Structure 1
Amino acid sequence: MAMKTLWALIVGLSGLLLVGASQPPTSLDPGAVASPEGYPVRNDLLVRSCGACHQMDEEGRMSRISFLRKTPEGWQASLQRMVALQGVRLDPATAANIVRYLSNEQGLAPEELRPVHFEVERRRVGMEYPDDNTLETCGACHSMGMAMTQRRSPEEWELLAATHQGYYPRVDGQRFRRGGARPGEFPVERALEHLKEAYPLATREWAEWSANRGPARIEGDWILEGWEVGRGAVFGRVEITPVAGSADEFTTRIRYHYPEDGETLVREGRVILYTGFQWRGRSTEVGGEGAASRMQAEGTRGELREVMFVERDWGEIHGRWFTGAHDEFGLDVRLRRAGSAPVVAGVFPESLRSGSAPTELRIFGAGLPVDLRPQDVELGQGVEVEAVVASHPDSLRLRVRVSGEAPVGARDLRLRGQVVPRALVVYDRVDYLVLEPFAGLARIGGIVMPKQYQPFEAIAWHSGLDGRRGTDDDVRIGRVAVTWDLVEYPVTFEDDDARFVGTIDARGLFTPGADGLNPERAGDRNNMGDVWVRARHRPEGEGGRVLEARTHLVVSAPLYMHWDNWMLEPEVTP
């Protein structure tokens, strides 16, 4: 406690001195902008825990706190920072209560969070931001999603910039006050103008959502469909049960199946629904059939974190489940409510080759007819359902034959009057491969800092009717089996990155090398570098032809600055 208090004092004093020494422009003066906005605080625990520093005015607004809106992750990060830097002591129950209150009363509306939901999902995306100056000013150190998931009063945006200058004094020379578009203009000033306009505290979306928000009615049975890079499609069921005495807590029981490798997993979990639509949960594997999953094999002990978005009509929930310890591993998940009518979640395989031998096609869903006949299923011209091999309310097994003259392209599935558009595709050849993701990033580690892995998968494509690769009529065939290896990405003479950066296994999972100096490498260099990831595929029945695809992989330094503040003591983490 004494060390934390001393550290907070040192940071606070040095921040004040450095801000004063750098002479920031007048617009960064916290007192220069007054705001009539703000939300009264009506939570006794919050007032008692934070009121010593955050003063309350006559309208019940607390300084700083009342002039912000954030996601649950944003509010938790604020509490973690207070604990780490200001010596605040909070027991887990109090911290959880404060995060829940602030997320519900000063959160984001669905329309505000939807464009940037990737940030809380910990999803790596390539995005374009409309303001280049703000992207360069803020995005040089962290994702723009950190700014986009906040709403602040004008004064609070100014104070945020001042906080950066206090905690990270070099930021002025690195970006804030360097490289302005016009003489005498600093990038941070233009960025603040943009942030105030783009992400104000008071919005129509939040006002409308606050007036309409109520307990979400999500209990019941749901159909699960998803995708995991490296393993493909996943289908299953989720049972959601309310926790007695709580309007926003639920338990879950999940059973899902990977049709490609045959593994079935069962999970049990618990969920808090923040702001009426923000699903935050954790689930643990309680049983499985077949080999251990990749995520479990990487040391996660079967626990997954769940970040999802509940749609307004309570009919669909979508998002991402990831491991937490290594958030590069995860599933994209979509839940749809199961009702009395049959619902098709998807099919496997997702493509059928024309002229091939009879193939088993599996249909996954809920309430599927168990008395199905071959004539009840239609898949378009050239695709014949020869037999119903097995039927269950959650899955059907069909034997289908595709003629050699079947047209190439997407096919609708018609099942006793229900139509599933573009449920699968028919193809006659594989024209090219695409590796996903389109570029990879891994980080060395394992000694001082954790490793960051990078999974890949190969997707086969048909060039479509025009026969040209990369045009709009191309047909996605789906995942195919490939052989993987690493190829040198030459940057310097006698470049040898491919020997040291790491290894890629038969599943397409890249494991980086260890952090620190490597005495086996010239100059005792570390194991960083960049390489080509190469995949080779030999299409069946195409005379031994081999297709090849590559993607660029950067193996970088460990992530020393972790914005989740993972070094906090467990007993004070909400």
Structure 2
Amino acid sequence: MKHALPAGLCSLALLMPTGVALASPGSEAIDSYCSTCHQADNGSQNWSRISQQRKTPEGWDMTVARMQIMHGLELPSEARRNIVKFLADTRGLAPEESAPQRELIERRLNRIESSDHPEMQAMCGRCHTVGRSELQRRDLDEWEHLVHFHVGQFQTTEYQAMARDRDWFGIALDEISPWLAETQGLESDAWEAWQQAETISPEGDWQLWGHWPGEGDFYADVVIAAAEGEDAYALTLEGAFTNGRELSGEGHAIVYTGYEWRASLSLNGRDFKQVLDLSEERPSGRIFDDHDEALGMMVELSPRDAAEPGLAASLPASLKAGARSRLVLLGHGLAEGDVDLGEGVTVRRVVERSDSRLVLDVEASSDLTPGWLPVRVGDQHHEQLLAGYHSVDRLEVSPPLGVARIGNDKTPPVSGVFTALGYLGEGENAIPLGQVPVRWSVAPWDEIAERDEDAKFAGVLDAATGIFSPAGAGPNPLRQYNANSVGNLRVTASVVGQEAMQDEAQLIVTVQRWNNPPLR
């Protein structure tokens, strides 16, 4: 089951061969603004260079921006939006093709890349992410055109680090281009199948949940309604954090390629962007701060009415022995029946109950047996949804290597955001406990960082939340040589009440990014 276009309104542009697709505002805009350089093929909706590529919505938007910046294309904002929408719909990526690089699309930038080709990191990844290359599909001629463009537009390409020690141009043409054409060619079975797939509207009632760094676990009812424009939607959100604090918001969204949801949201008065993959029955993705992409939260959604009865999520994911907690169970068919959380867990009060949500005041006994707790609500039960524990056996800080950036009003800082996940047991059978209470601390990473007092100058780590706020940009007169307030730091999480249980990560605090495209 896929969620995208309104039921019965499956896009004809997706289902018909490109050459006979119906005219649209996007194709008309390409004819008006692009066909001077990109020749149309005898009145069909094929254009030279354009029709030999497929990209994400962000990829097409970057292409249009490059035409404006480098070639002087004058393009009204509405025409730009129409062009990107049309190209993403008719020359996009199938869910299977974009899946390996969802982290890049969702702006989860603290990740360590790898590639199946041993030369990709040196050849392409030294200037931009390898993922940016892997979110494109081209035929061989177009991949070769891209190599020529790089050398012609960026004349120092062959003389930079990791290029001048090899025949960069020769390797790019003779090795990289053929490999990309074979592994990321224009035609694919996945894209062919997706163009023929039935798509279903996201309109309706949903429930959403996730963890907001610094704020806590949250859940919300989301209502999505059609808005003016092709595949455009408005949404409202009403919910709460598990501590009872209210959460509300609204926003507007557009769906590209039948499944790529892009939204602008206001949540509790703060501006966010939202990226979702609607191709599965339970959509998922990320919400991130409009001004600081590091401040974000992974979320899942489930339709409130259409799903089969069952338990979908528990907030939190674990209960500590001897502690009293507020527990939120999400799913379907939860309105009736007895609630049983297993021996050792007492339900003191039902705070809220509906078909899709159960909010409970619970207490775990001090002699609780560690492990999975059998959760049962009426006829619904789940054996691996909620865990109980006395102590944490393993702690894992994420990301293991983070990057924060100093900033100012013109180039806002980028925070460092860390989470600590606990586990019961070791190895493959370890039981995930989710977020566990920890205290955070920061120290110099090495002797050089200690000598330069990086922990003093680079910024401040919140001991309760794991959020690092970088210092301001610009020369710092208090540092040797008036250096910037950059640093190389060690971030450590210690379990509250179990301080010997720790894990750590490295945090690089560096200078601003001056070029911030949607796909890095």
Alignment of 1:380-459 (within 5 A): 380=342, 382-393=343-354, 394-446=356-408, 449-459=411-421
Matched-pair contact (CA < 8 Å) for 2:394–2:422: yes
Q: Name the structure 1 match of 2:286.
A: 320
**What amino acid is the match of 2:353?**
H
Q: Name the structure 1 match of 2:428.
A: 472
In the alignment, structure 1 residue 259 sits paired with structure 2 residue 224: no
Q: Name the structure 1 match of 2:277.
A: 309
Q: Name the structure 2 match of 1:553.
A: 507
Q: 2-side partners of 1:74 and 1:332: how far apart?
A: 22
Instruction: Call closer, same or farther: CA 1:564–1:84 in 2, change over 3 Å.
Output: farther
Q: Name the structure 2 match of 1:460.
A: 422
Give the unaligned 5+ runs of structure 2.
Answer: 1-16
Q: Name the structure 2 match of 1:104.
A: 89
Instruction: Call closer, same or farther: CA 1:358–1:453 in 2, change over 3 Å.
Output: closer
Alignment of 1:474-513 (within 5 A): 474-492=430-448, 494-506=451-463, 507-513=465-471
Q: Name the structure 2 match of 1:222.
A: 206
**What amino acid is the match of 1:352?**
L
In the alignment, structure 1 residue 118 sits paired with structure 2 residue 100: no
Q: 2-side partners of 1:405 and 1:565: how far apart?
A: 51
Count of residues in Structure 1 that have an aligned counterpart in Structure 2:
493
Q: 1-side partners of 2:287 and 2:276: how far apart?
A: 8
Q: 2-side partners of 1:344 and 1:565: how far apart?
A: 36
Structure 1 window deviating more from structure 2 (75-84 vs 546-555): it is 546-555
Q: 1-side partners of 2:394 and 2:519: how far apart?
A: 43
Alignment of 1:260-299 (within 5 A): 260=243, 262-285=244-267, 288=268
* Post-superposition CA distance 1:174-206 (Å, at most 9, x none): 268544499x95355322121111111111221
Q: 2-side partners of 1:170 and 1:481: how far apart?
A: 50
Q: Name the structure 2 match of 1:208.
A: 193
Q: Name the structure 2 match of 1:347.
A: 314
- TM-score normalised to structure 1 length: 0.79
By how many angstroms is 1:391 displaced? 3.6
Matched-pair contact (CA < 8 Å) for 2:349–2:360: yes
Which of 285, 299, 303 is the matching residue for 1:337? 303
Q: 2-side partners of 1:131 and 1:181: how far apart?
A: 17
By how many angstroms is 1:546 displaced? 4.9
**What amino acid is the match of 1:233?**
D
Instruction: Call closer, same or farther: CA 1:111–1:512 in 2, change over 3 Å.
Output: same
Matched-pair contact (CA < 8 Å) for 1:224–1:345: no
* Post-superposition CA distance 1:212-253 (Å, at most 9, x none): 355x32211111122233434221111111236x55222111
Q: 1-side partners of 2:323 and 2:511: how far apart?
A: 49
By how many angstroms is 1:388 displaced? 4.1
Matched-pair contact (CA < 8 Å) for 2:59–2:519: no
**What amino acid is the match of 1:167?**
Q
By how many angstroms is 1:565 displaced? 10
Q: 1-side partners of 2:398 and 2:300: how far apart?
A: 20
Q: Name the structure 2 match of 1:148.
A: 134
Q: Name the structure 2 match of 1:197.
A: 182
Instruction: Call closer, same or farther: CA 1:181–1:409 in 2, change over 3 Å.
Output: farther
**What amino acid is the match of 2:456?**
R
Helix, strand or coil: the match of 1:66? coil
Q: 1-side partners of 2:29 and 2:89: how far apart?
A: 15
**What amino acid is the match of 2:319?**
L
**What amino acid is the match of 2:382?**
V
Give the unaligned 5+ runs of structure 1.
Answer: 1-37, 289-300, 465-469, 567-574
Instruction: Call closer, same or farther: CA 1:211–1:364 in 2, change over 3 Å.
Output: closer
**What amino acid is the match of 1:305?**
K
Q: 2-side partners of 1:247 and 1:148: how far apart?
A: 28
Instruction: Call closer, same or farther: CA 1:163–1:551 in 2, change over 3 Å.
Output: same
Q: Name the structure 1 match of 2:124.
A: 138
Matched-pair contact (CA < 8 Å) for 1:68–1:106: yes
User: Percent of aligned positions with the same letter in both sequences?
Assistant: 29
By how many angstroms is 1:451 displaced? 1.2
By how many angstroms is 1:439 displaced? 1.9
Instruction: Call closer, same or farther: CA 1:460–1:206 in 2, change over 3 Å.
Output: closer
By how many angstroms is 1:432 displaced? 4.5
Q: Name the structure 2 match of 1:65.
A: 50
- TM-score normalised to structure 2 length: 0.87
In the alignment, structure 1 residue 163 sits paired with structure 2 residue 145: no
By how many angstroms is 1:318 displaced? 1.2
Instruction: Call closer, same or farther: CA 1:426–1:521 in 2, change over 3 Å.
Output: same
By how many angstroms is 1:399 displaced? 4.7
Q: 2-side partners of 1:448 and 1:249: how far apart?
A: 32
Helix, strand or coil: the match of 1:425? strand
Q: 2-side partners of 1:130 and 1:207: how far apart?
A: 24
In the alignment, structure 1 residue 85 sits paired with structure 2 residue 43: no
Matched-pair contact (CA < 8 Å) for 2:236–2:251: yes
Q: 1-side partners of 2:332 and 2:246: how far apart?
A: 17
Matched-pair contact (CA < 8 Å) for 1:242–1:249: yes
Report which of the two structures shows the higher radius of gyration computed on alpha carbons. Answer: 1
Helix, strand or coil: the match of 2:428? coil
Over the aligned positions, Cα root-mean-square deviation in angstroms equals: 2.8
Matched-pair contact (CA < 8 Å) for 1:254–1:267: yes
By how many angstroms is 1:448 displaced? 5.3
